[in-house]
Structure 1
Amino acid sequence: MAAVRPFRALRYNTRDPLSVALVTAPPYDCISPQEQEELYRTHPHNIVRLVLGKETPLDTDRHNRYTRAASLLAKWRKAGILVRDKDPSLYFYQQEFEIDGKTYLREGFLARVGLEEFGSGRVFPHEETMPGPMEDRLRLLRAAHANTEPVFGLYPDALNEVTAAFHEMGAACEPLAQTVDGSGVVHRLYGCPDAVLVKRVSEAMAERPIFIADGHHRYETALAYRRECEAAGGTVGPDHPAASILMLCVSMHHPGLAILPAHRVVSGAAGLTAERLRKATEEHFAWQEFVGAEATSPRLEERLRQARGHAFGLWTRDTSKAFLLTLKDARIMDHLAAEHSKAWRRLDVAVLDRVLLKTDLAKAVAAGAAPELSYVHLAQQAFDAVHEDGADAALVLRPLPVQALQDVAAQSERMPPKSTYFYPKVLSGLVINPLE
Structure 2
Amino acid sequence: MAEIRGFRAIRYHLEAGDEPADLLAPPYDVIDTEEQDALYAGHPANIVRLVLGRQHDSDSAENNRYTRARRHLMDWLATGQLRQDVRPGLYAHQQTFEDAQGNQHTRRGFLGAVRLATYDEGIVLPHERTLRGPKVDRLELMKNCEANLSPIFFLYDDPEGKVDALLEAHRVQEQELDVTTNTDGIRHRLWPVFDADAQAEVAEILKDAQLLIADGHHRYETALAYRDFRRSVAEDGGSDQPAPYDYVMAFMVNIHDPGLQVFGTHRVVHGVADFDASALLKTLEDSKLYDLQPLAKELVDTPLELELKLAEAAEDAPSFILLSQHLEQPILVQYKGDESAPIFDADTPEQVRRLDVSILHEGIFDRIIGISMEAQAAKTNLRYIKSLEAAVAARKNPEHQLVVLMNPTPVAQVVEVCQSGGKMPQKSTYFYPKILSGLTINPL
Equivalent residue for 1:326, pick from 314, 326, 334? 334
Q: CA deviation at 1:386?
A: 0.7
**Which residue of structure 2 lines up, in the alignment, with residue 367 of structure 1?**
none
- Counterpart of 1:58? 58
* 1:133 alignment partner in structure 2: 134
CA contact (8 A) 2:339 2:350 kept: no
Alignment match of 1:289 (pick from 280, 285, 294): 294
Q: 1:336 to 1:179 in 2, by over 3 A?
A: closer
- 1:392 partner SS: strand
CA distance 1:384–1:360, shift in 2 (3 Å): same
State the shift of 1:38 in Å: 1.6
Q: Is the 2:321–2:331 contact (alpha carbons within 8 Å) kept by the matching residues of 1?
A: yes
Match of 1:168 in 2: 169
Q: Which residue does 2:305 correspond to in 1?
A: 299
Contact 2:129–2:424 under 8 Å retained in 1? yes
| 1:109 paired residue number | 110
SS in 2 for 1:387: coil
Of residues 243, 259, 262 in structure 1, which corresponds to 2:265? 262
User: Within 5 Å, which residues of 2 pair with 1:389-428?
Assistant: 391-428=400-437
8 Å CA contact 1:119–1:412 kept in 2: the answer is no
Distance in 2, matches of 1:372 and 1:278, equals: 19
- Distance across 2 between alignment mates of 1:53 and 1:255: 36
Q: Which residue of 2 is the match for residue 366 of structure 1?
A: none
Please state how far the C-alpha of 1:23 moved relative to its aligned partner: 0.9
Runs of 4+ in 1 over 6 A off after TM superposition: none
Deviations 1:189-243 (A, max 9, x none): 1011012321221111111110111111211111111111222243254531111
Which letter maps to 1:310? Answer: P
Q: Which residue of 1 aligns with 2:249?
A: 246
Distance 2:283 2:363 in 1: 11
Q: Structure 1: which 5+ runs fail to align?
A: 364-369
Number of positions where the alignment pairs a residue of Structure 1 with one of Structure 2: 429
The match for 2:88 is 88
Distance verdict in 2 for CA 1:76–1:344, change over 3 Å: same
Instruction: For 1:179, give the aligned amino acid.
Output: T
- Aligned equivalent of 1:207: 208
The alpha carbon displacement at 1:320 in A equals 4.0
Deviates more, 1:394-403 or 1:330-339: 330-339
Instruction: Compute the displacement of 1:106 (Å).
Output: 0.6
Check 1:231–1:37 CA distance in 2 against 1; reply closer, same or farther (3 A cut): same
How many Å apart are 1:172 and its aligned residue?
Answer: 9.0
Name the counterpart of 2:353: 345
Hey, what's the Cα distance between the residues in 2 that align with 1:33 and 1:275?
36
Distance in 2 of aligned mates of 1:149 and 1:236:
27
Q: Give 1:405 deviation, angstroms.
A: 1.1
Aligned pairs for 1:362-381 within 5 A? 362=370, 372-381=381-390
- Alignment-derived partner of residue 382 in structure 1: 391
Deviation track 1:6-29 (CA, whole Å, cap 9, x = no partner) reads: 111111101889621111101111
Cα RMSD (Å): 2.2
The answer to whether 1:46 aligns with 2:46 is yes
Shift, 1:177, TM fit: 4.5
CA contact (8 A) 1:268 1:392 kept: yes
Cα pair distance change 1:33/1:214, threshold 3 Å: same
Aligned-partner Cα distance in 2 for 1:80–1:169? 27
- How far the C-alpha of 1:273 sits from its partner, in A, is 5.0
Counterpart position of 2:344: 336
Q: Which stretch shifts more, 399-408 or 291-300?
A: 291-300
Of stretches 419-428 and 6-15 in structure 1, the one that deviates more from structure 2 is 6-15
Secondary structure of the structure 1 residue equivalent to 2:155: strand
Deviation of the 1:429 alpha carbon: 0.7
- Asked if the contact 1:172–1:193 (Cα under 8 Å) also holds between the matched residues in 2, the reply is no
Q: What displacement does 1:271 show?
A: 5.5
Contact 1:113–1:246 (CA under 8 A) maintained in structure 2: yes
Please say if residues 385 and 391 of structure 1, whose CA atoms lie closer than 8 Å, have aligned partners that are also in contact. Answer: yes
* Native 8 Å contact 1:266 1:371 kept in 2: no
CA contact (8 A) 1:4 1:202 kept: yes
Give deviations 1:109-143, integer Å, cap 9, x for gaps: 00111111111141111111211111111111111
Give the TM-score normalised by the residue count of structure 2: 0.91
* More deviation, 323-332/233-242: 233-242
Is contact 1:17–1:179 with CA below 8 Å preserved after alignment?
A: no
Question: What is the alpha-carbon distance in structure 2 between the residues aligned to residue 117 and residue 110 of structure 1?
Answer: 21
Deviations 1:47-94 (Å, cap 9, x if unpaired)? 011111112222222322111111111111010010111221110001
Do the aligned residues in 1 keep the contact of 2:178 with 2:187 (CA within 8 Å)?
no
Query: Within 2, Cα distance between the matches of 1:275 and 1:389?
Result: 16
**1:277 maps to which of 277, 280, 285:** 280
TM-aligned CA deviation for residue 184 of structure 1: 1.1
